[in-house]
Amino acid sequence: MTYVVTENCIRCKYMDCVSVCPVDCFYEGENMLVIHPDECIDCGVCEPECPAEAIKPDTESGLEKWLGLNAEYAKVWPNITIKRDAPDDAKDWDGKPGKEELFSAEPGTGD
Ligand code: SF4
Ligand code: SF4
């Protein structure tokens, strides 16, 4: 099992999650983060830290698509272990439907 970053991270990217992960398994895209499923030790510490409630255990149903996206982009995006400021408009995007269309495959800057 692993934890998975899902749709509501897109354009929120608060980054509270990265500072608590004991194995530094978050990877940064331009407008969301992902978890490397083979590196995550399933500790669950990050889940309650996410203000956007975007982190879910993969035991929840319907997350196959997001698990695939996390696995794919964790291989190509840079590692991120240090929390930076969230985007200025993060609050405006929190909870908005249809954010999947705004997903960017571009990498973030990493640490
Ligand atoms: S805390 Fe939540 S919204 Fe912020 S980067 Fe982590 S998963 Fe995304
Ligand atoms: S569940 Fe634990 S190991 Fe996995 S991403 Fe969250 S903090 Fe890191």
17 lines ligand 1 (CB under 6 A): yes
> What residue ranges do the domains of the chain occupy?
3-82
Following DSSP, what letter does each residue of the chain receive, concatenated?
A: --EEE-GGGTTT---TTTTT-TT--EEEBSS-EEE-TTT------SGGG-TT--EEETTSTT-HHHHHHHHHHHTTSPB--S--PPPTTHHHHTT-TTGGGG---SB----
Residue keyed to tokens 């590196």: 39
Ligand 2 nearest-atom number relative to CA 45: 7
Average pLDDT, the chain: 97
pLDDT value at residue 5: 98
Q: Which ligand is nearest to the CA of 99?
A: 1
- pLDDT tens, residue by residue, 18-62: 999 999 999 999 999 999 999 999 999 999 999 999 999 999 999
pLDDT value at residue 44: 98
Buried b (16+ CB within 10 A) or exposed e, 70-100: bbebbeebeebeeeeebeeebeebbeeeebe
pLDDT value at residue 17: 97
3 and 44 Cβ atoms separated by less than 8 Å: yes
- The CATH architecture one would assign to domain 3-82 is 2-Layer Sandwich (3.30)
4 lines ligand 1 (CB under 6 A): no
Of 13 and 43, the structure prediction assigns the larger pLDDT to 43
What global pTM score does this model have? Answer: 0.96
